[in-house]
Amino acid sequence: MTKSSITRRDFLNGTLIGTGAMLMGGDLIKMAHAAEVEGAVRPAGAPYYPPRWNGMRGSHAGSFERAHELAREGREDWRGVAETGEEYDLVVVGGGASGLAAAYFFQQAKEGAKVLILDNHDDFGGHAKRNQFESGGKMRMTYGGSQGLDNLSNWPEEMWTLMEELGIDLDRFETKTYDHSWYGRHGLNGGVYLDAKTWGRDYMIPADLGGMSPVMPGLGKGEQDIAAVFAATPLPDEAKKELIMLYTEKGASRVIRNFDETDIDSDNFPYDKFLREYWNVSHPATFQFLRKLPTDENGVGAEVLSVSEAIEGEMPGCVNLGKKYGMITDQDPSDPGYVHHFPDGNAGFCRAIVHAMIPKIAPDAGEIESAEDLVMADFDYGALDDPESNTRIRLSSTAIEVKHEGPVDSAEKVAVTYIFDGTPRRVRASNVIMACWNMIIPHVCRDLPEPQKEALALNVKIPYIFANVMVKNWQAIKASGIGATYCPTAYFHLMQCEYPVNMGGYEATEDADEPMPITLIRVPVPDELGMVPRDQFREGRGEILATTLEDFEIAVKEQLNGMYGANGFDADRDIEAITINRWPHGYSYTYFNLFDKGQTLEDGPHILARQKFGRIAIANSDAGANSWLDVGVVQGLRAVRELTGG
Report the CATH superfamily, name and number, of domain 3-177+343-474+519-644.
Answer: FAD/NAD(P)-binding domain (3.50.50.60)
Contacts of 487 (CB under 8 A, 6+ apart): 192, 193, 195, 292, 493, 494, 495, 559, 563
Tell me the pLDDT of the chain averaged across its residues: 92
Residue 1 exposed, middle or buried by CB count within 10 Å (0-12, 13-18, 19+): middle
At 633 the pLDDT is 98
At 79 the pLDDT is 82
pLDDT tens profile 187-215:
999 999 999 999 999 999 999 999 999 99
What is the number of alpha carbons within 13 Å of residue 313 lying toward its C-beta?
28
Contact predicate 12/629, CB 8 Å: yes
User: CA end-to-end span of the chain, whole Å?
Assistant: 34
CA distances to 93, 128, 379, 594 from 355, in Å: 19, 15, 9, 44
Does 23 have pLDDT greater than 80?
A: no
Contact predicate 218/211, CB 8 Å: no
Torsions phi, psi for 305 (to 5 deg):
-80, 145
Query: Per residue, what are the HEC states of 384-441?
Result: CCCCCCCEEEECCEEEEEEEECCCCCCCCCEEEEEEECCEEEEEEECCEEECCCHHHH
Distance, CA of 351 to CA of 394 (rounded, Å): 15
Does 26 have pLDDT greater than 60?
A: no
Residue 613's nearest CA partner among 453, 378, 391 is: 453
Distance, CA of 188 to CA of 480 (rounded, Å): 8
Q: Which amino acid is at 560?
A: L
Contact predicate 499/588, CB 8 Å: no
Contact predicate 291/266, CB 8 Å: no
Does 508 have pLDDT greater than 80?
A: yes
What are the beta bridge partners of residue 503? 506
DSSP state of 474: -
At 366 the pLDDT is 78
- Reduced to 3 states, what is the DSSP secondary structure of residue 383? helix
At 331 the pLDDT is 79
Distance, CA of 229 to CA of 603 (rounded, Å): 45
pLDDT bin (cut points 50, 70, 90) of residue 39 is low
Q: Where are the domains of the chain?
A: 3-177+343-474+519-644, 183-216+218-324
Does 553 have pLDDT greater than 60?
A: yes
pLDDT tens profile 532-543:
999 999 999 999
Contact predicate 472/137, CB 8 Å: no
The dihedral formed by the CA atoms of 52, 58, 59 and 60, expressed in degrees to the nearest 10: -20
Residue 81 exposed, middle or buried by CB count within 10 Å (0-12, 13-18, 19+): middle
CA distances to 81, 114, 165, 209, 527 from 290, in Å: 53, 52, 43, 10, 14
For the whole prediction, is pTM greater than 0.85? yes
pLDDT tens profile 450-507:
999 999 999 999 999 999 999 999 999 999 999 999 999 999 999 999 999 999 999 9
Does 35 have pLDDT greater than 70?
A: no
The dihedral formed by the CA atoms of 293, 298, 299 and 305, expressed in degrees to the nearest 10: -70
What are the beta bridge partners of residue 230? none
At 41 the pLDDT is 73
